[in-house]
Every structure is written in C-alpha cells, then in structure tokens.
C-alpha cells in the first residue's frame, strides 16, 4: 500500500489536517469512546470552540495548558484545541504522586488545568498549591464544567498560523529515574514522526484502537498519524485484555500500539484464540523491552505486521524492527531509520567499533529543544561528535551487528558491577523467563559487602504454578556464569510498573533484601 500523498508535504500541522478532513469527509468517524463519538465535522467544530475559549481567557500563543485525566473524546478535543490556538500542551500522568503533579504544573507555568474527578481527589491534600484555573473534563465539581467553560460560538476563533518551529507539547518523563523532566517537542518534530509512522498503512479507512493513556508519548505516536490521515481513533479509558479482544473485532481495528506487557496479557488470554483479529494491518510496540519469544508468538498467532520502535521521548534517533520482515532478528530493535544517525560511545565518550558495547546516542531532525527550564539537565544528555554534531544520550547499552541491527543489552544505570565484572540484568531476566513457572522477572543490583554489588531477582510466577528460590537458582545457575548468579530471589504478585508499562527498578532497589 502506497503512503498517502499528505505525507509528501514538507510540513503540515495536526489542526490544519483535522480541518482538511472535516471539510472533505465531514461525516466520517474521527473519535469513538465510551463517553462520546465524534465525526470529523463535530470534532473540528468542538476544537474551534476550545481554541476560542482559550483565547477568550487571555492565553497567548506559546503559553502552556496542562491536562491530567483519563482518556476521552473531550481530552483529545481539548488537546487539539490548544494546538489550534497556538498553545503548548502539557499532558500529565494521573499516576504521578501529588507532589510530582504540583511540580510539573509549576514547571510548565500552565495557566489552565483541565482534570477529572479522580485526579481532583488524588490532589485533594495539595489542592491549595494549585495556582492554575481548573476546568473539569468530566463535568464534575473538580473545576468549572467543560460545558460551561466552552464558548458557544466557534466563529469567535481568531486564526493562528502554526510554524514547524513552534512548541507542540511538554512531555514529562516518567520519573522512573528521579524527578520528571519536561521534554519540549515542536510541531516539526511531531510532523516528522507522523510521516514515519503514517507510512505503515494508515489512511482514511484505518481504525486505531488506543489502550494506552493519552498523556504518553507512546500513545501520541499512533493517535496523531491516525487523525492526520483521516482515520478513526477508538479510545479505551483503561486497558483490559478481555475488553480489547472484544473491541478489536467489533470495531474492525486495523492498528494498535501496545507495550510488551499488554501483548503478554492479550496473548495469554483465554479469549485470544477465538477472537477475530483478521482486520489488523499493523501492530506497534515501544517503551519497554520486548522479548524475542513474545514477538515470535505475536507473529505466529496474530494477523498483520509487527513493528517495534526504539527511541526516546527526547528524540535523537529511532531504530525500527519490522519483525514480520526480519523474523531472524527478533532479539534486536532493528536498524536506524533513514536520516537518523545512531552511534555507540564508550566511557571515554569516543565511538566504539562495530561489535563492541557502547552507550546509544542519536541525532535526527526529531530532537527535543531541551528540558523545560533545565538547561543543565539538557547539557547532561547531549554528546557532540568531533565535528560538533549534536546527539542525545539514551543511557542504554547496545551493540551493532555486521548488518546494522542494534541489540540492546541494558540500561547503563541498571548494569551491575559485581567483583569488578559488568553484569547485564537483561541476560539473567531472559534466562529466568525460560523457566516454565516464570511469568515475569526483573533483576537489579543491590549493595554487597563482599562484591560491592550483586544481582537480586524479583519474580512473578504464572498462575497455578509453584517454584521456590532453590528451584530457580538451580535452573539459572546452570545457564549463566558465576558472576551472573542472583544472590537472592524475591517472589511478587506483580512487578511495579509506570502507567505505560515500564518496570520501576528504582522501587525494586529500595526493597529490603539481605545479601552477603
């Protein structure tokens, strides 16, 4: 299928393309959710009213608004309305701590805060610290109800021209490694992503089933091209594997972005084999390690292509693995996208030869301008080659093979140095997942008087199975080197994860574990 001609443009903004589809195909479905369904005409008019309301409230182009709520049609309309008014959107994660949310609100300088009742309750203890005016997306008393805040007349909107260099959003990092940092992305950066993802069979007939939260960059990676190319977005307020397997056939879903833990739950659901999923053209994944075994299972049992993206919200460079085209490379994250310069550097900040391990750094047109209000943190993640070319450091350790495919070994900060040897937790986790009772595993380094640091494994067992530390130790020790052997095994009901499915290893390191 040839990519839509829209993607041939040097630049186009999402509000501009939304208007285009509203005029060309006004009655086509744009957004479907449990609370509301909107055609392109309805969405476009609502976006105009939202944009006009922001202008009435005195918000000027370049200023920020913040959204923190569950996924809904209203959420998307407010997001696009802010863009149409030239504003910068700061989508915040409801699962953040109240203190983190207040910090992000303050850092973004948002003058308007759109939320729902669940977020308002979550923030009740710190509500007095919120300076921004509040608007309730779900018509609750958490702020002025959206229906009252909205201007009635969409004609009141004053047109605003959007340039590629204008800021699009401030995405806050997940906070898995400390305090969230605001990542500023431009309309041009977003257009570059739309052009790349949109080429994967998105068009006016595509139906994108969205089960990850709208505050996440992972979600926007597919939502934006779906709307930009005139397709339908179907929103799930919360992911549930059984519900996904009901919705996908009924909506004739063609696309979905899922994180690996969602694939795992869908593939193991009892309803999977009987679900009619033949309408799928393409499935995507990003944000967390995706095991080769799980990729192979998806390819074998689920119709349509499977594409894994590796990159950072900060930008810098993207690798793509088209798993259906390269089934022999499932242990990799693919090759760099054309025009993206991905390199590996050593501890001395010099490039390492092919086949050697180094930190992944990347350069592309799709790079953040910097962390909002934190130039010193921006400088920390930048690397410049001898010619002065700017790269973003990922903190990931990897190795290129002779064909240019990148294998990730681990996060640099997660690497364990035990007795002077480098140990990669991902290697041990892969072995643990081979055990017939293990559903999930995460390995972290903890302080050791004898070795300085030593591996400890946290394990989730499959339902209905049993295993103890001795069983797992015997299995693992027979398959890894001595320095890789975990000093202890801890059994959990589930691994701590962020809202987008990343394992929170920082929380695991903080758990009390006794080792020698």
Q: Are residues 23 and 131 in the same domain?
A: yes
Q: Are residues 486 and 369 in the same domain?
A: no
Residues 6 or more apart whose Cβ sits within 8 Å of residue 297: 267
Q: Are residues 39 and 181 in the same domain?
A: yes
Task: Classify residue 3 by its DSSP letter.
Answer: P
Gap between the Cα atoms of 49 and 81, Å rounded: 8
- Evaluate whether residue 270 is within a structural domain: no
Model confidence, pTM: 0.85
Q: Are residues 390 and 440 in the same domain?
A: no
Query: Assign residue 335 a region: left if phi > 0, alpha if psi is -120 to 50, beta otherwise?
Result: beta
- Evaluate whether residue 272 is within a structural domain: no
- Evaluate whether residue 200 is within a structural domain: no
Helical H segments across 89-240, by residue range: 98-108, 117-122, 146-149, 187-198, 217-228
- Evaluate whether residue 310 is within a structural domain: no
Q: Which residue in 495, 493, 488 sits closest to 441, CA to CA?
A: 495
CATH of the domain at 112: 3.40.50.12780
Residue by residue, pLDDT tens for the chain (516 residues) are: 677 899 999 999 999 999 999 999 999 999 999 878 999 999 999 999 999 999 999 999 999 999 999 999 999 999 999 999 999 999 999 988 899 899 999 999 999 999 999 999 999 999 999 999 999 999 999 999 999 999 998 888 999 999 999 999 999 976 444 567 899 999 999 999 999 999 999 999 999 999 999 999 999 999 999 999 999 999 998 999 999 999 999 999 999 999 988 999 999 999 999 999 999 999 999 988 898 999 999 999 999 999 999 998 888 899 999 999 999 999 999 999 999 999 999 999 999 999 999 999 999 987 888 899 889 989 999 999 999 999 999 989 999 999 999 999 888 888 898 877 788 898 899 999 999 999 999 999 998 888 888 999 999 999 999 999 999 999 999 999 888 999 999 999 999 998 788 899 989 998 988 786
Q: Are residues 383 and 456 in the same domain?
A: no
CATH of the domain at 469: 3.30.300.30
Gap between the Cα atoms of 163 and 363, Å rounded: 22
Using DSSP, state whether 347 is helix, strand or coil.
Answer: coil
- Evaluate whether residue 239 is within a structural domain: no
- Evaluate whether residue 476 is within a structural domain: yes
Q: Are residues 382 and 432 in the same domain?
A: no
Q: Are residues 94 and 36 in the same domain?
A: yes
Into how many domains does the chain fold? 3
Residue pair 50/147 in contact (Cβ under 8 Å)? The answer is no
CATH of the domain at 405: 2.30.38.10
- Evaluate whether residue 504 is within a structural domain: yes
Q: Are residues 428 and 502 in the same domain?
A: yes
Gap between the Cα atoms of 89 and 65, Å rounded: 5
pLDDT at 177: 44
Q: Are residues 356 and 443 in the same domain?
A: no
Of 410, 442, 476, the residue at which a domain comes to its end is 410
Gap between the Cα atoms of 234 and 252, Å rounded: 10
- How many other CB atoms sit within 10 Å of the CB of residue 216? 23
Q: Are residues 122 and 98 in the same domain?
A: yes
Q: Which residue in 83, 91, 72, 82 sits closest to 138, CA to CA?
A: 72
pLDDT at 516: 66
- Evaluate whether residue 4 is within a structural domain: no
CA end-to-end distance (rounded Å), the chain: 59
pLDDT at 174: 60
Domain range for 387:
333-410
Of 162, 197, 231, the residue at which a domain comes to its end is 231
Q: Are residues 339 and 449 in the same domain?
A: no
- How many other CB atoms sit within 10 Å of the CB of residue 277? 17
> In Å, how far are 330, 450, 487, 489, 490 from 470, measured between CA atoms?
31, 21, 11, 9, 11
Q: Are residues 36 and 140 in the same domain?
A: yes
Using DSSP, state whether 183 is helix, strand or coil.
Answer: strand
């Amino acid at each position: 299928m040839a990519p839509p001609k829209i993607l041939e443009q040097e630049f186009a903004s999402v509000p501009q393309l939304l208007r285009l589809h509203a005029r060309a195909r006004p009655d086509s479905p744009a957004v479907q959710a449990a609370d509301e369904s909107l055609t392109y005409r309805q969405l476009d008019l609502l976006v105009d009213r939202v944009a006009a309301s922001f202008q009435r409230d005195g918000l000027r182009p370049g200023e920020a608004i913040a959204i923190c709520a569950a996924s809904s049609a209203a959420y998307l309309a407010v997001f696009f309305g802010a863009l149409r008014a030239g504003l910068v959107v700061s989508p915040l994660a409801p699962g953040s701590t109240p203190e983190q949310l207040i910090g992000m609100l303050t850092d973004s300088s948002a003058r308007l805060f759109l939320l729902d009742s669940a977020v308002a309750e979550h923030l009740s203890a710190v509500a007095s610290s919120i300076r921004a005016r509040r608007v309730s997306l779900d018509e609750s008393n958490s702020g002025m109800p959206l229906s009252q805040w909205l201007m009635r007349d969409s004609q009141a909107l004053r047109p605003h021209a959007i340039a590629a260099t204008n800021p699009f959003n401030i995405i806050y990092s997940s906070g898995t490694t400390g305090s969230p940092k605001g990542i500023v992305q431009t309309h041009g950066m977003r257009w570059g992503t739309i052009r790349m993802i949109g080429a994967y069979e998105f068009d006016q007939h595509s139906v994108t089933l969205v089960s990850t939260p709208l505050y996440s960059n992972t979600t926007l990676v597919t939502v934006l091209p779906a709307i930009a190319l005139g397709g339908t977005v179907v929103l799930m307020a919360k992911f549930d594997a059984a519900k996904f397997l009901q919705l996908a056939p009924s909506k004739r879903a063609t696309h979905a972005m899922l994180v690996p833990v969602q694939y795992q739950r869908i593939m193991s659901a009892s309803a999977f084999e009987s679900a009619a999923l033949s309408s799928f053209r393409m499935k995507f994944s990003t944000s967390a390690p995706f095991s080769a075994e799980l990729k192979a299972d998806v390819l074998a049992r689920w119709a349509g292509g499977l594409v894994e993206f590796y990159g950072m919200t900060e930008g810098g460079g993207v690798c793509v693995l088209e798993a259906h085209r390269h089934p022999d490379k499932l242990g990799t994250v693919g090759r760099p996208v054309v025009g993206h310069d991905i390199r590996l550097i050593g501890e001395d900040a010099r490039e390492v030869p092919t086949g050697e391990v180094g930190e992944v750094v990347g350069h592309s047109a799709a790079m953040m301008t910097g962390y909002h209000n934190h130039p010193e943190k921006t400088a920390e993640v930048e690397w410049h080659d001898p010619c002065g070319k700017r790269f973003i450091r990922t903190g990931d350790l990897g190795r290129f093979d002779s064909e240019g495919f990148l294998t990730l070994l681990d996060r640099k900060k997660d690497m364990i140095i035990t007795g002077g040897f480098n140990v990669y937790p991902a290697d041990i986790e892969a072995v643990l997942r081979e055990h017939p009772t293990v559903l999930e595993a995460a390995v972290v380094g903890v302080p050791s008087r004898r070795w300085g640091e030593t591996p400890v494994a946290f394990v989730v067992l499959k339902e209905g199975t049993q295993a103890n530390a001795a069983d797992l130790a015997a299995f693992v020790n027979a398959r890894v080197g001595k320095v890789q052997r975990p000093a202890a095994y801890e059994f959990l009901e589930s691994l701590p994860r962020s809202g987008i499915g990343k394992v929170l290893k920082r929380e695991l390191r903080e758990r009390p574990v006794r080792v020698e």
